[in-house]
Structure 1
Amino acid sequence: MSSFTLPTRRMLAASLAATALALTVSACGSSASTMPAMPGMDSASAMPSMSATATASAMPTMDGMGAMASGDGLAATNGGYTLTSTTATLPAGKASGYRFTITGPNGKPVTGFAVDQTKTLHFYAIRSDLTGFQHIHPTMAADGTWTAPLAALSAGTWRLFATFTPATGSGKGTDFVLSRTLTVSGMPMDTALPAASASTTVDGYTVTLAGDLMAGMAHPLTVTITKGGKPVTNLQPYLDTYAHLTAFHSGDGAFAHLHPTTAVTGDHGGPTLSFHPELAQAGDWRLFLQFQTAGTLHTAAITVHVS
């Protein structure tokens, strides 16, 4: 590992509400091998590990502001809440609407959700090789059925995550992250996980990460955005923050995301954003940083290694 060691983790904060963003993360794919297609898998035990050294679980964080997420993101059921869907397979290369419900401890669809980062539910899709990232905001029908408009998916095994906070019931105020796997028909063509790096480019922007982070220890992490060698200072709020950072660990399939601690003060964010993550385990992670300028959303992907 280079001297530049970064994590992307999830914030542990149940009793840590007074602590600055603690993020614990695990992951969803592997650079070395691809998860076999297993439709309908609902739990971490159902999803085979893609790294012999991967830790079995980690506590994900749904909200960059400190609430503790219930579960490690790899189960379809946690705390009495279940992500249910009758869809186990979808065709490749075709946009599709993925329908699902969140059922509560009483077995009925939940229809009341608290708003988190301007949305009542966030939905993510990632392929087993950590490609094809999608961050979607589904719509919910009156009966509690959600429809996530997935862009065309490539053949292989995908994991779909839903993050939400019930507004009523036993889980009121608790952040949850649940997931299911999905098989996309066809012959998978895997992509090797890019090597760890301190910077990446997207749409002409250069994203540079700086930090000296180790697993199990909280350290500051900064993200600097430039364009043409000049600092970018026109970041616009996206989901009430200047950047949305999603992490997938190249090992056990878990997920986490966090938001910068930098305060939002209008359409002039940047060039540097501050995070304060704490990764629970070592290994490679694939980060997806989303930020907005001039009404356009950019998604930068970068691999980091945590010792």
Structure 2
Amino acid sequence: MNVKQFLDQKKSRRALTAGAAAVLSLSLAACSSGGGDGMAGMHHGGASASAGASASAGDGMAGMDHGSGADATAASDGLSAEQGGYRLNSGQASLPAGSPTEYRFTVTGPDGKALTAFEPEQTKQMHFYAIRSDLSGFQHLHPQMAADGTWTAPLAALQPGDWRVYASFVPGAGSGKGNGLVLSRTVTVAGDAAEAPLPAAAASTTVDGYTVTVEGVLRAGTAGGLTVTVSRDGNPVADLQPYLETYAHLTAFHAGDQAFAHLHPESKATPDGRGGPMLAFHAELSKPGDWRLFLQFQTGGTLHTAELTLTVRG
């Protein structure tokens, strides 16, 4: 199938897409009414203050923590080291530049003790992210935990500058058990820091020979949908391999303050293990302005990370 044929098919599906969007709106409106769809523990921030009044309420994705009010909005951005009695702790305020390094941390629970019980979230007990203040240098890792609750994240070489690291997890014990959290801290990497300008907003980008196109308009604090299409050499790609239970993982960071959001996939990987070329995500980005998106997908056993800038309306 060439691109023209694919686009013709895509146009014919627009009516179906509109219907899917309506269903999505209804499902999101039911947030806090209970129920589940099997995507347990999926919460990475981005919820607005109106998302719900109870952190224990369900919205069709079990374990999603919405919180309430201004505190919930701030916490959902992932910019705090503490939320609901859980705290991200580390003795490392700085890291070396230019060579692989390790970041060690613990998460303490409401009882003040190191938490050692975590529930899997997209197959992992801990998702760890690092990004520089100019939104470059993105890393997404799945560190290992020692018996005492100490996590060690093996970071690739870092460039000098101010960085923020995030721990995304679902507590398996304590008052927040089953509710996803994103906590973060800042670290400094010594050396001459030359910040790169944020690339302009664009609908598509290329990585490792693959073209990734993102369609959809998001408004701050309002649930919306994005459609991602993957092609190669002008042809749609339909052999995406499962990665973290889905065919792509989409993370976003807000320009200026590094607020964090995870754009949730609409479906899990299918038993046949082949996905694409179109992938649907839903998102609620809390702030207007530019967000840097990082889409991770896998083909032929290789993980690719596509980057592009998306402007969210106020």
Q: Which TM-score band applies after superposition, normalised by the shorter structure?
A: 0.7 to 0.9
SS of the residue 1:258 aligns to: strand
Q: Residue type of the partner of 1:229?
A: G
SS of the residue 1:221 aligns to: strand
Task: State the alpha-carbon separation in 1 of the partners of residues 173 and 45 from structure 2.
Answer: 26
Task: State the partner residue of 2:274.
Answer: 268
**1:75 maps to 2:102:** no
Instruction: Decide which of 284, 294, 299 is 2:290's aligned counterpart.
Output: 284
Instruction: List aligned pairs for 1:222-237, cutoff 5 A.
Output: 222-237=227-242
Contact 2:44 / 2:168 at 8 angstroms: preserved in 1?
no
CA deviations over 1:125-182 (Å, ceiling 9, x no partner):
0000000000001100000011000111000000000011111221111111100000
Higher Cα Rg: structure 1 or 2? 2
Task: State the partner residue of 1:303.
Answer: 309
CA deviations over 1:65-119 (Å, ceiling 9, x no partner):
4512562311111111110000001111011111100011111100010011111
Task: State the alpha-carbon separation in 1 of the partners of residues 82 and 29 from structure 2.
Answer: 19
Task: State the alpha-carbon separation in 1 of the partners of residues 113 and 43 from structure 2.
Answer: 33
Instruction: List aligned pairs for 1:99-110, cutoff 5 A.
Output: 99-110=104-115
Task: State the partner residue of 1:219.
Answer: 224
Which is bigger in relative contact order (C-alpha 8 A, separation at least 6)?
1
Q: CA deviation at 1:23?
A: 8.0
SS of the residue 1:285 aligns to: strand
Task: State the alpha-carbon separation in 2 of the partners of residues 244 and 294 from structure 1.
Answer: 17
Contact 1:241 / 1:259 at 8 angstroms: preserved in 2?
no
Task: State the partner residue of 2:250.
Answer: 245
Contact 1:23 / 1:279 at 8 angstroms: preserved in 2?
no
TM-score by length of 1: 0.80
Contact 1:58 / 1:280 at 8 angstroms: preserved in 2?
no
Percent identical residues: 59
Task: State the alpha-carbon separation in 1 of the partners of residues 197 and 30 from structure 2.
Answer: 33
User: Given the superposition, is the C-alpha separation of residues 167 and 143 from structure 1 closer, same or farther in structure 2, using an over 3 Å criterion?
Assistant: same
Aligned residues: 266
CA deviations over 1:241-290 (Å, ceiling 9, x no partner):
11100000113321011332134213210000011222232100000000
Q: Residue type of the partner of 2:135?
A: L
Instruction: List aligned pairs for 1:125-274, cutoff 5 A.
Output: 125-265=130-270, 266-274=272-280
Task: State the alpha-carbon separation in 1 of the partners of residues 50 and 301 from structure 2.
Answer: 35
User: Given the superposition, is the C-alpha separation of residues 256 and 12 from structure 1 closer, same or farther in structure 2, using an over 3 Å criterion?
Assistant: farther
User: Given the superposition, is the C-alpha separation of residues 22 and 94 from structure 1 closer, same or farther in structure 2, using an over 3 Å criterion?
Assistant: closer
Q: Residue type of the partner of 2:98?
A: G
Unaligned 5+ residue runs, structure 1? Answer: 1-10, 27-54
Task: State the alpha-carbon separation in 2 of the partners of residues 150 and 268 from structure 1.
Answer: 30
Q: Residue type of the partner of 1:270?
A: G
SS of the residue 1:220 aligns to: strand
Q: Residue type of the partner of 2:217?
A: D
CA deviations over 1:201-234 (Å, ceiling 9, x no partner):
0000000011132223323210000000101000
User: Given the superposition, is the C-alpha separation of residues 228 and 17 from structure 1 closer, same or farther in structure 2, using an over 3 Å criterion?
Assistant: farther
Contact 1:94 / 1:153 at 8 angstroms: preserved in 2?
yes
Instruction: Decide which of 43, 46, 54 is 1:25's aligned counterpart.
Output: 46
Task: State the alpha-carbon separation in 2 of the partners of residues 251 and 285 from structure 1.
Answer: 9
TM-score by length of 2: 0.78
Task: State the partner residue of 2:32.
Answer: 15
